[in-house]
Chains A and B, each alone.
Chain A
Amino acid sequence: MNAWDELVERCAERRREKIGPLSDEAFAELRLAVREQPTAFVDDPAEEALLIVARALDAYRAKTLGDDLLDDDAYERARRQRLGLLARACREAAEVDEGCLDARLLEALAADAEPDELLGRLIALEREAGRRGGAPRTGTDDAWGDVWYRPRLRLRAAVARTCLDTARYRMAASAAESVIATSPGDPLGARHTYALALARLEDEAGFDQLDARFSRHGNPWSHLARTLLLFKLDRMSAARRALRGYDELCQGGAYALLRPTYVETYLPDRPEAAPGSFEESTFAVREAEPIIADTPDFINWAQGHDWLVASAERFARERGLDW
């Protein structure tokens, strides 16, 4: 989530509403002015709350920079502290504007509760947001275009991911489906959650439809999901080809799969990463983790392919990673 961009967008739109119709050029000028000094344009509790969130996220992210140097205990302490600070700031933001869904979502995520408990909080939050109303503005094909609606989409995508984490695959699929139905461009990547859920449910037809809907643009999630799906369906030679595709097309995919690393909780959504990058591969493996664990010999089987192990090793050498 880029909170500053959304803050600028919202302040500019609010100002335009006040001063009346503007030409495109004039609106672009206005936007530049807001970008220059957003705080000067914050004049509504909703944006005031978002400003607190934006600052809290900056502070949180800045604090993660020295993590590599810490041992496990020190890391855990530092992590708990920065999550605590983030949660506190988000509570403040929610006091300024109770309807600030991003603050509420972040507070729930930063509590670092068990996924099952988190899901309960997120569902309660969705109900509350539903009562407050607010459908996406008409006239946009993609609800993402409505900057005020984005928090709802983020919350829904978080619900889908949390469902996946708590082994609720039909719910994960239906939450993800509703995100991509309202936001077909899917900048939040709910389709990734969807693909993994369909793989776990061994729903080949559903998986294929989803793949076609996104023009079969592969990514680490879809390649990994396809491999899992075919393995679960006991179509071993097809599964082997899918594994090969995952290895070839996802940077560091083999390494991410065979040496899974810790991935920090998404706050509030999946961090942006270059398409096909190693980072994406680590995200995909992390999100697929409950499904991989439910398929006990999947990793053994993958490891049985020499080319996969060699590829992982090569990647580790190139990047100076542990092997």
Chain B
Amino acid sequence: MAHDPRREDYQRLALRFACSLDGADPAAAARAFAGFGRRFQQDRDALPQSDADRAFHLVAMAAEVVDYRLPFAVGAQADRLIARGKALLDEALSLDPLCWDALRMRSSSEAPSIEERYRLLADRAEEVRASCEAARDEALRALDGERAALGGELALRPWWRWLATLAEEALICGHNHAAARAAERLLACDPSDSCDVRFTLAYALAKLEDERGLEELAARYATLSPTRAGDAWLALARMALAHRRCDYAKASEQVGWLIDSYPGAAGVLLRQTELPDGEFSRLRVAPFSEDELVIAVSEGIVLLQEGTDRRGAGVLGEWLIRETARRDPAAWRTLRREAPDGRGRGDEAS
């Protein structure tokens, strides 16, 4: 489950609203709370909130713009959305300089290189942790029961997302141990892995060719993700490791599993499209949907495109294309009709 900024925005205000009703007559409070959803939708500004809440609302709006609308926009419209997203984040930061989500999202377009973005995320990590933990302590002091649990978690989530982005950036930059470290750090404070950082961890372990580490991670799925024993990330990481030890039968098994588990898998595995990562968090998609595989493959470019191969998709990428075409010749033919010159890889990205 990826984080949902709108839901989180709702939770923040609902919690504050509930607290504001304390001491009121229970019947009146219940009536007032029944109207909360409508007021949240229609008259949000009139609800009790802090500057941090307002800033987070702007972050949620920015996430909507850059993560969910920008990918479908072209030309001038895309430029407008980018400017809008940036303005929303700037405004969020002017309301709340400690709005780590806004700072983190803004760093993606402002850092001059991915390495410098990684550097910024790594260098400020301790500050972010301290700030979020202080907010959590404050919530735990002020609230009790379920409210304390929710308030505490809401306070920590920006720190979790910071670590998740740090892990992902480290992976892209080739700091694989650093990626694994950030991921493990996040799992230690978010044991149900609400950020799905285990996906990034699986790829970092595959990059390090740490077979044992990857299988240990798979064994931890029982606690990290009780409802899902496997996913595209784990399968692609296992496929990469099998291919790297020239165990083509085992690598092929994983391709078979992907094709059986995801609708439209063959087309996705043939195209290997690279998409920009979600800025707020990994994009929300349904488990075992085609979109989920698209994201897993896009993040997996770090594995697919490694090594020398003149055909362009990388050693593992080319193998995956051949293997998928062998298993599903019809999908291969369809794709060739759509993009006779090649595979259409990167079409969406360009």
How far in angstroms is the closest Cβ of chain A from B326? 15
The answer for the CA separation of A123 and B114 in the assembled complex, in Å, is 38
Given known A166-B308, A296-B173, A297-B114, contact A116–B245 (CB-CB < 8 A): no
Q: Is the CB of B318 within 8 A of A114?
A: yes
Size range of the interface on B?
20 to 34
Which chain A positions have C-beta within 8 A of B260? none
The answer for the CA separation of A298 and B319 in the assembled complex, in Å, is 27
| Cβ-neighbour of B246 out of A168, A234, A289 (below 8 A) | A168
B61 located at the interface, meaning its Cβ lies under 8 Å from any Cβ of chain A in the complex: no
Within 8 A of A (CB), among B199-256: 208-209, 244-246
Q: Is the CB of A115 within 8 A of B174?
A: no
Interface code A92-106, partner B: CB below 8 Å = 1, 0 otherwise?
A: 000000000000000
Within 8 A of B (CB), among A5-27: none
Given known A295-B174, A297-B115, contact A119–B246 (CB-CB < 8 A): yes
Q: Is the CB of A201 within 8 A of B308?
A: no
Given known A115-B315, A202-B208, contact A171–B172 (CB-CB < 8 A): no
Q: Is the CB of A202 within 8 A of B307?
A: no
The answer for the CA separation of A289 and B307 in the assembled complex, in Å, is 9
Which chain B positions have C-beta within 8 A of A233? 175, 177-178
Interface code B1-45, partner A: CB below 8 Å = 1, 0 otherwise?
A: 000000000000000000000000000000000000000000000
Size range of the interface on A?
20 to 34
Q: Is the CB of B308 within 8 A of A290?
A: yes
Q: Is the CB of A296 within 8 A of B114?
A: yes
Q: Is the CB of B315 within 8 A of A116?
A: yes
A232 located at the interface, meaning its Cβ lies under 8 Å from any Cβ of chain B in the complex: yes
Within 8 A of B (CB), among A207-222: none
B316 located at the interface, meaning its Cβ lies under 8 Å from any Cβ of chain A in the complex: yes
How far in angstroms is the closest Cβ of chain A from B236? 14
The answer for the CA separation of A290 and B315 in the assembled complex, in Å, is 11
Q: Can you report 25 A-B residue pairs in the complex whose CB atoms are below 8 A from each other? A: A116-B309, A116-B315, A116-B318, A166-B307, A166-B309, A167-B244, A167-B307, A167-B314, A168-B307, A169-B209, A170-B209, A170-B244, A170-B245, A232-B174, A233-B178, A234-B122, A234-B175, A289-B308, A290-B307, A295-B173, A295-B174, A297-B114, A297-B173, A298-B174, A300-B115
Residues of A in contact with B (beta carbons under 8 Å apart): 114-116, 119, 123, 165-171, 201-202, 232-234, 289-290, 293-298, 300-301
Residues of B in contact with A (beta carbons under 8 Å apart): 113-116, 122, 170, 172-178, 208-209, 244-246, 302, 306-311, 314-316, 318-319
